[in-house]
Structures are given as structure tokens and as C-alpha cells.
Structure 1
Amino acid sequence: MRLISTKVLQEEMVIAKTIWNEAGMPLLQEGVHVTNRIIQRLQQLNVQYVYIDDKISKNIEVAEAIPPKIRNAAVNKIENSFKTLKRLKGTDITYCLEKSSKDFKAIINSLMDSIFDNEELLTVLSDAFIYDEYIYQHSLQVTIYTISIAHEMKYNAEEVRQIGIGAMLHDIGKMLIPQETLQKPGRLTNEEYDTMKMHTQYGFDMLRNLHTISLLSAHCAFQHHERLDGSGYPRGLVDFEIHPYAKIIAVADVFDAVTSNRVYRNKLLPSEGLAIINEGSGTLYDQMVVEAFNRVIAAYPNGTVLLLSNGSRGIVSKQNASNTMRPKLRIFEEHGKLVKATYELDLASSELDILNVEPDYLEEKGTVYMT
């Protein structure tokens, strides 16, 4: 399968991976032949990328760390709990969170089981799941990344569980932020931004007195926007003052934010998101956390077309766990022409550089596409 931009999606291309809606129902099934109506619908939903089957990507698989059934159940639980909280006040909020904590922990356990059993690198697949409200999907994605980082950093199971709960609830304070501020498509005013920043304090206040959730998890909600150099909020803490759990969630939070569609901008590719994280390593984000994240995330997911420094093009066929920035490729084009027989190239043992990621790549119909 191959990752392709919906901007260049064409009729008769074959969908390779099912796209799900928030109810856990397939919006677009694997194996469906694309029509103009499907293209228009995907673009209306702001789906930027889909996976298709074609000749150059035959037998290239994209593994999912979290099965769709577990993912959908988790997002639905987050949504139901958060929406209930939005209607409550005071002690009712505490009671609701205490009641929901058992379900949250069950979700974390399921995610931990899936991630611990998965030997593949994490692949960003947010477009494979269509959700109307960003915060619920974001909370789950941040949890998945956080658990993966913590596991890679050798935290024990109970510590990973605490970090996971903190990640799942890190944005819970946004339930007390006005919807018009959360969904504003343009730049926030200074006053609106100050209001938005209060979600960290609100989240901490919701969580810190719960008997069923660790105070350390509450600090994740409080500190996930703090930065090593003191430029973060709400308290402008510096490196040693920030809890290690919050440092992990900070990286996961920013990466998911920039690789997801938002009301004010389109998503970045995983390699672009990682570049932002790596640029801030040691100044904004903890270096050990960033290094661990680089070891667990696929910068160039399987099925991604890459342009190389010698002018050839290849599609990512496998990952290199020892060097996640240098995957294995199936070379299918040289000097602007399709090769007679594709061949494998391991970038980890090559001096060639990656010049560009090309989800907009197209070739002559009937040459590349499977119909």
C-alpha cells in the first residue's frame, strides 16, 4: 500500500486501509474503488492522506500498533466522560472522575498490552480515523505516544500506567474553556490565549484531590506546557523543576498537535513533526525523551514515497529499528522513468540523502495503479 494525498487522488484507485468514523463504523472500506463522489467527500472531511493499493507498493504493509476496536472504544470513552464533565460543576465533577477512573485505567491497560506486544515502530495514522472534535482523538494519540516513550525509557509497568493516565487526562481542563476559544480558526487574542492557558490549572484542580488517580498524573495536566528554558506555562518552570512524566507528555503533545489537522492549519507529515521536536531538543524538550521518541516513531511510514539525492524515487517498504530516520526502500524510478524491475535499497547503509517526501507523486494511469 502507498500513502497518497487526497489532492491527487483519482477515480479507480483502490483504497488500501479502512477509514473509520467516531462511532467505530467504516466510513470508507478497504478495497473500495475511488469515485469522484468519494474524493469530494474526503476533501470535505479534510482528510489529507489515504492509503491506496498499486503496483509499486504491492505487498507493502502498514502495521497498526492499536487495533481499531480498542482505539474506537478508547476514544468513545474519553468523549463520553469529557462531555459529561462539561455539564457538571464542583463536587459532581469529582464524583464523575472517580467513577470514570476505573474505565480509564482499563483503557490504559489495553493500550499498554498492545504497545508492549508490538515490535514495529509507531506509525501516524490519524487520517485513518475521522473524528469531529479534535480533543478526544488528540487525548488518545498523546497517550499512545506517551506510553511508547515511557516503555522505551524503561519505566516499570506501574509508572507507565501513571504516565498513561496523566496523558489521557492532560487536556481535561479544556472542558472548562469556552468552545468559541477552543474552536477559533484564527489567531487568539492575548486575552483569549490567557484563557486557554488556564486549562492546565483547571485540569490540575480537577485531578489532584481524586483518590483513584495519582497526584503524579495530576501534575501531568499541570505541567505539560512547561519548557526546559522556562518559556512555558503556567508557572514558567525550568528543567529540574518539571516532573519527568510531564516532560514525556510535552513531546507527545506537541508532536500530535502538529501532525493533526486543526481548525487553523493542516497537518504536517511525521518527518516534519519530528524535525520540530528535534530542533527543540535540549532547550524546550528533554533530550533523553526526544531520543526515545525518535527510536519508537516511524519518521517515514511504510508506503511513503521518497525522492533521493541521486534523483531516484523509492517507496518505504520496511523500517530500520536501529536507525528510524533511514528506512528500507523499494526503488521504482530512476532518472524520471520507472525501472524495469524494482529493487531494495537500505538507506542505513547508503550515502544517499532524502530530499523530499512525495505524497503527491503520480505516474501514468495504467503504469502504476492497480484497478
Structure 2
Amino acid sequence: MRLIPINSLQPGMKLGKKIYNEDGIVLLSENAELTDVIIRRLRSHGLNFVYVADPLTEDVVPLDMIEEDTRRRALKEIRANFRKMTEPTVKGLVYPYLGKMFSGLIEDIMDDLSAREDAMIMMMNIHSMDHYLYRHSLNVCIYTILLGQIHGYSKSDLTLLGLGAMLHDIGKTKLPIELLTKAGKLTDEEYEQVKQHAEIGFKMLKNEPGIPLVSAHCAYQHHERLNGSGYPRGIKGEEISEFARWIAITDSYDAMTTHRVYRSAMLPHQALEVLYTGCGNLYEKSKLELFRDRVAIYPLGMTVRLSTGETGVVAKIHGIFPQRPVVRILTDSEGIDLKAPYDLDLSKQLSIVITEVDGMI
């Protein structure tokens, strides 16, 4: 199948992967035929890319980072519990079930990731029309746990890290929804109000039964930066929790690669370039390097143009060299369709590079 920008969809194309609505219900199934009405609806919900069926790439089948059922259950639980948090706070009210419930989800996520050989950080915002905060919380949790597994944390530490990642933005449930969904640029006063979510989240979690303090500090510190330029306290370097330094990277990456009401999503390679401008200054170099080596910056099924002038579709990603995928060449340098498409392994053709990707070509 092929990954196609929304603006390139045509009536008559057939969907390659399911699309869910915000309640986790399948909105469109595989092989559903796209119409003008459906395409407009997908666009209105902020989806930038969708997978479509294609006979030339029918063997290109991208796997999700976690099982479909795990993702659906996780979003359902995040949605239900975060919505409870938006209700007016009653003095002394606690949520003693949070730690137990989310720990169970995190264990399922760990199991799913462990079962994926050479698991890569893939685009996670293609198939769901869910609320940004819910998807973002799950995505950051998945990305961070994967990095923690590769780093070699114990299962108990991964649970603490996963809890911190899942709940890092919990403070936003106490902010006005109109502030979080504002289409235009925030005023200085509004931005200062949004920044309060880090401290609000920490205060919500620090005395919560079942939420360890190290996980609560992830909510407090995920916007802190190595050089002290972050917030809310402007702490530096190792003053920042090690777990929060991981989440600083995954939180920023997912935010950049997600469509928002005020800007379009970046593609993975663009977001990685932005992260690297802060390498050693905003983000820890060793953690960023591990992240880089696990990001599928050219997602499976995406159309790319090579330095030879040929175009093709990313057909396979190398776990140890993700920046040099296998590309199925579909057109020659003149843009003429090949009668016999073939696979070109860029890890073995080092003089050939990807120069453009679909959506930017």
C-alpha cells in the first residue's frame, strides 16, 4: 500500500488501513472506496496522510508499533480518565485507581513493543481522529517506552517511565479548552497560562496514590531544557530528571509531527532536523542519537524522489540504518512509469540519496 497526502487523494481510491473516530470505533475499513465527501471529511479532521491500496506495493504492509486492540483500549482509558480530570476539582479528591489502571496499560504496551523485532518509531497520527491530548499522551508513552527498552531499563523502571510519559500533559486537563484549541497564535498572556500545565500536572500527581514521585516529576519537568531555557523552573542539565529528559525529546517530536489547529504537521525527517538544532543544548546528545537511530524518518509506503531523478515508494526500513531504506522504483528520471518496477537498497547504494518526499515534491 502507499501513504498518500490528503490533498493527493482521488475519488475511487481504496483505503489501505482502518481509520478510527475519537471513540475508537472504526469509521472507515480497509478497501473502503473514497468519495469526494469522505475525502473532505478526512481533511476536516486534520488527517494529513492516509494509506491507500495499490497493486504495485501490495506487499508493503506497515505494522503499527502496538497491537490494534491495545491502542484502542489505551485511548479509551486515557479519554475516560482525562475527561474526569476536566471536572471541577473537589478539595481532597484523589484518583486512587489511576496508577493501577495505567500501569496495566503500560505493561501491555511493553509486551507489544517487545514482540516487535527491531521496532521503529513510526508515524502514529495517521489513522485516528481522536482528541490531540489523548493521542499525544499515548504516542509519547509508546515512543518513550521503546527508547527505554533499548536503553536497557528494568521492567520496574520502564513502568515508572511509562507512567510519567502517559501523564506528562495531565495538567492540560485543567486549562480552558478554548485555549488549547485556539486556531491563531497565542498572546503572551495565553502562552504563560498554557505553560502552567507543567506545575499543575505535578501538583495533581505528586500526592496521588499509586503514582510514584519520579513519574510526577515527568509532568513537572518535561519542558525543562539542558541549558536552563525551559520552564517552569529553568533548571539545567542533570538537575532535570533523567526520565523527563527522554520525554522532552518524544514530546517535542510528537507535537511537531501532529496536525494542530494552528499549523500543519511536519514529516518525521523535518522534525528530526529541528530536534538536532537543539542537540547538546536543549536535548541530551546521547538520548537524541538513540532516538534518531530508531525513527523511521521515511515511513513505509511514502513516495520519495531520489538524486537520480527516479521516484518510488519506501518498501522496507532497515532497523540498524533507517535513514537508508529500500525504495521500490516506479518511475524513471523522466517521470515515465516503469513496466517492471524494482527495489533499490539505499544502504548498498550510498551515492544515491532521497531528495524529496511526497507532500513536498
TM-score, structure 2 normalization: 0.96
Taking the aligned partners of 2:2 and 2:260, their CA distance within structure 1 comes to: 24
2:183 aligns to what? 185
Tell me the TM-score normalised to structure 1 length: 0.93
Residue 342 of structure 1 aligns with an amino acid whose one-letter code is P
Residues 1:200 and 2:187 are matched in the alignment: no
Q: Which runs of 5+ in 2 are unaligned?
A: none
176-185 or 241-250: which moved more? 176-185
Residue 42 in 1 paired to residue 42 in 2? yes
Question: 2:124–2:139: 8 Å Cα contact kept in structure 1?
Answer: no
Aligned to 1:26: 26
Which segments of 5 or more consecutive residues in structure 1 lack a partner in the other structure?
362-371
User: Among residues 167, 174, 187, which one is paired with 1:169 in the alignment?
Assistant: 167
- Matched residue, 1:339: 338
Whether the 8 Å contact between 1:64 and 1:122 is mirrored in structure 2 is no
1:99 aligns with 2:97: yes
Structure 2 residue aligned with 1:257: 255
How much has 1:224 moved relative to structure 2?
Answer: 0.1
- Deviation readout 1:244-299 (Å, 9 max, x if unpaired): 10000010100110111111111111121222122222111111111111222211
Q: Secondary structure at the match of 2:344?
A: strand
Match of 1:305 among 303, 319, 339: 303
What's 1:368 paired with?
none
Which of 278, 295, 301 lines up with 2:293 in the alignment? 295
Aligned mates of 1:183, 1:18 — CA distance in 2? 26
- Structure 1 ranges of 4+ moved more than 2 A: 90-93
CA contact (8 A) 2:107 2:159 kept: yes
Residues in 2 aligned to 1:282 and 1:326: alpha-carbon distance in whole angstroms:
25
After TM superposition, the structure 1 stretch with the greater mean CA deviation from structure 2, 199-208 or 174-183, is 174-183
Contact 1:200 1:223 in 2 (8 A): yes
The within-5 A match list for 1:1-371 is 1-93=1-93, 95-96=94-95, 98-119=96-117, 120-131=119-130, 133-335=131-333, 336-350=335-349, 351-359=351-359
Structure 1 stretch 77-86 or stretch 102-111: which is displaced more? 77-86
Q: What residue identity is the alignment partner of 1:65?
A: M
Q: Is the 8 A contact 2:46 2:260 kept in 1?
A: no
Separation in 1, partners of 2:360, 2:220 = 40
Secondary structure of residue in 2 paired with 1:248: helix
Q: Take 1:192 and 1:348, find their aligned partners in 2: how far apart are those partners?
A: 47
Paired residues of 2:327 and 2:346 also in contact (CA < 8 A): yes
Tell me if structure 2 keeps the 8 A contact 1:152–1:296: no
Distance across 2 between alignment mates of 1:339 and 1:249? 44
- In structure 2, C-alpha distance between the alignment counterparts of 1:134 and 1:92, rounded to whole Å: 29
Percent sequence identity is 38
Q: Which amino acid aligns with 1:50?
A: V
The letter for the 2-side match of 1:165 is L
Deviates more, 1:57-66 or 1:217-226: 57-66
Task: Give the superposition deviation at 1:304.
Answer: 0.8
Give the Cα–Cα distance (whole angstroms) in 1 for the partners of residues 218 and 90 of structure 2: 21
Amino acid at match of 1:320: H
The letter for the 1-side match of 2:109 is: L
Whole-Å Cα distance in 2 between the matches of residues 39 and 210 of structure 1?
44
Which structure carries more relative contact order (alpha carbon 8 Å, separation 6+)?
1
For residue 88 of structure 1, report the CA deviation from its aligned partner. 3.8
- Counterpart in 2 of 1:364? none
